[in-house]
Structure 1
Amino acid sequence: MLLGTFVPKLDEKGRIILPAKFMGDFEGGVFMTRGQEHCVYLFSRREFEALHERARQASVTGKKGRDFLRMFLSGASEEVPDKQHRVTIPPMLRDYAGLDRELTVIGAGNRAEIWDTAAWNEYYAQAEADFADTDEEVIAGIF
């Protein structure tokens, strides 16, 4: 399970050092793709393959489903961390997420997310207020 918040820097070659505590999940490679709210999602090979298998079973007759899968999979890239735990974020994904030198990487359970730090701080400020004020179930059977 991927948890926590980290603040690595993007180097001049478009690489980041992944948090050491994530490396057990990412040893077999990292799958990056467009995330919602303009971040970059990172999945382990196992998680990405399971997600893809579920997506393959979905109906392709619904336009929203087709559109989502096109955006999600057309932006996907497999990267292999080097010995220093660095991975390159492809230019297309850096542009999509507006990534600059200052980054925030969060663990989100089955995936990690890479955010531009300013975008994360803005998102966090709004989401934290909503989180603190939650008075109804938002995840069925959990909270």
Structure 2
Amino acid sequence: MFYGEYRHAIDAKSRLFIPARLRQGLGDRFVMTKGLDGCLALYPPAEWQALEEKLRHLPYSRKDARAFVRFLFAGAAECEPDKQGRILIPPPLKEYAALEKETIIIGAASRVEIWAAERWEAYLQATQASVESIAESIVDLDL
């Protein structure tokens, strides 16, 4: 399980330090791909395989299913942190998430997310007032 919020900067070579607490859960190799809401998502191998298995069973005849599978898999890249705990962010993923310098890295239960600091702040502003209504709307999910 991943949790917490960390602030780190991307260096000139597009490398980003991943905190040790998060690296432990991700393992030696993991998958980075486009996330929802304009962030990047990092999945440990077991979580990626579980997601891949679910997506594999989506009906190919559905346009929205094909689009979502393409969205996740086309941008996916395998990551392996260097000895300093940094990962290289490929240019297309860096562009997708609007990552320039300051980032916010968050634990989000089964995955780690990387956000441009400005996008994360805007996301928090937009959702802060509606957290209670979101909680009410997901009560049926048996949390």
Q: TM-score category by the smaller chain?
A: over 0.9
The answer for the alignment partner of 2:47 in structure 1 is 47
Amino acid at match of 1:52: E
Q: Against the structure 1 CA distance between its residues 27 and 131, is the aligned structure 2 distance closer, same or farther, given a 3 Å change threshold?
A: same
Q: Secondary structure at the match of 1:31?
A: strand
Residue 118 of structure 1 aligns with which residue? 118
SS at 1:37 equivalent: helix
Match of 1:97 in 2: 97
Deviation at 1:20, TM superposition (A): 1.0
Question: The residue matched to 2:119 in structure 1 has which SS?
Answer: helix
Indicate conservation of the 8 Å contact 1:33/1:42, yes or no.
Answer: yes
Superposition RMSD in Å: 1.3
Superposition TM-score, scaled by structure 1 size: 0.94
SS in 1 for 2:52: helix
Amino acid corresponding to residue 102 of structure 1 in structure 2? E
| Residue number in structure 1 paired with 2:63 | 63
Gaps of 5+ in 1: none
Aligned length: 142
Displacement of 1:53 in angstroms is 1.4
3-state secondary structure, aligned to 1:22: helix
Structure 2, unmatched stretches of 5+, are: none
Q: How has the CA–CA distance of structure 1 residues 56 and 122 changed in structure 2, closer, same or farther, with 3 Å as cutoff?
A: same
Of stretches 18-27 and 69-78 in structure 1, the one that deviates more from structure 2 is 18-27
Which residue does 1:86 correspond to in 2? 86
Q: Structure 2-normalised TM-score?
A: 0.94
Q: Which has the higher helix share?
A: 2
Alignment CA distance shift 1:135-1:32 (3 Å):
closer
Sequence identity (%) = 34
In structure 2, give the amino acid aligned to 1:113.
E
